[in-house]
């Protein structure tokens, strides 16, 4: 695996962990956790290119705001400088093998093709 691909993969895993930690923290406290990710380039899965450097405000387990301008947050918010790295919100399954899916017994009696 190339070092660039490994680096991007590592950052995606970090983003996944951050969002899951945020969800866990919200269930343990009365007020939702607030995280501001600064200077990230967003991969949305629809565009062929990454976004311009942006800021992403996450409250609890929801993305509340995305802006190319500064986003003000309360003093208790966690601020993470993305350093221009890639953020891929919504990543839910990082590893999957389609070949391991098998048909049910009922499906095996139907037509193939």
Strands 86-87 and 34-42, by their bridges, are parallel
| CATH 3.30.420.130 correct for 3-108 | no
Is this model's pTM higher than 0.75 or not? no
What CA–CA distance (Å, rounded) separates 42 from 58? 14
* Alpha helices, H only, the chain: 3-28, 105-108
**Over the stretch 53-66, which tens digit does the pLDDT of each residue have?**
999 999 998 999 99
pLDDT at 103 over 80: no
On the 0-12 / 13-18 / 19+ scale of CB atoms within 10 A, 16 is middle
Segment 10-29, tens digit of pLDDT: 666 666 666 666 555 555 55
């Amino acid at each position: 695996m190339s070092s660039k691909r490994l680096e991007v993969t590592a950052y995606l895993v970090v983003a996944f962990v951050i969002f899951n930690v945020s969800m866990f923290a919200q269930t343990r406290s009365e007020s939702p956790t607030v995280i501001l990710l600064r200077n990230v380039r967003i991969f949305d899965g629809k565009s062929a290119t990454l976004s311009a450097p942006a800021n992403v405000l996450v409250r609890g387990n929801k993305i509340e705001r995305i802006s190319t301008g500064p986003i003000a947050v309360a003093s208790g918010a966690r601020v993470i400088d993305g350093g221009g790295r890639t953020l891929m919100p919504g990543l839910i399954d990082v590893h999957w093998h389609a070949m391991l899916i098998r048909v049910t017994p009922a499906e095996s009696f139907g037509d193939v093709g």
